[in-house]
Amino acid sequence: MMRYFVFYKPFRVLSQFSPEGAKTTLTSFFSDLPKDIYPVGRLDYDSEGLLLLTNDKPLTNRLLNPLFGHERTYLVQVEGMPHPDALKQLREGVWINAGGKRFRTKPARVSLITEPDVPERNPPIRFRKNIPDSWIRLTLTEGRNRQVRHMTAAAGYPTLRLIRYSIGQVTIDGLAPGMHTEHDAAIRERLFS
């Protein structure tokens, strides 16, 4: 039987079940899952938000294979107030390093947003009185290691907090960090719409 879980991965949690030093892993939140359920891709230890877990191998392949681009939307708190030129750069694609190679990111949707209604992060981001911060909504159709962080830094606005809000039409709405919901196979279509 295929199973699908949408999990709000908290900050400072590894996107894996296997232990790695003293770091918190998915085992702290999923103690009784069948052994064939795995996270699809990953969110970095210092990122938070939507993580899909499933035993549906064809779906996993489709989500991870770059030939099948699909939208992922992130809420990104950045240092400073992005200039319209920086937002334009992010929309058109920026040059970043990933995996030891330089490449230009695909065009993205990006907009400056008011502070979203998101849970407090524990610990909170460092507050700097003389440097403002702001939030952007960034939608990509590709996903490389730490890509969002590399993109905002290339545009001159380092990422302070990164939350994956959605994959396709599947969101973390209604979930708090550490919570998950189980879905039926209908979720497959929502991930690509």
List 163's β-bridge partners, or say none.
48, 75
Q: For residue 134, with 0-12 CB atoms within 10 Å meaning exposed, 13-18 middle and 19 or more buried, which class applies? A: middle
> How many helices (H) and strands (E) in the chain?
4, 11
Whole-angstrom distance, CA of residue 3 vs CA of residue 115: 34
Residues assigned a catalytic role:
44
Q: Of the candidates 52, 137, 48, 142, which has an alpha carbon nearest to the alpha carbon of residue 94?
A: 142
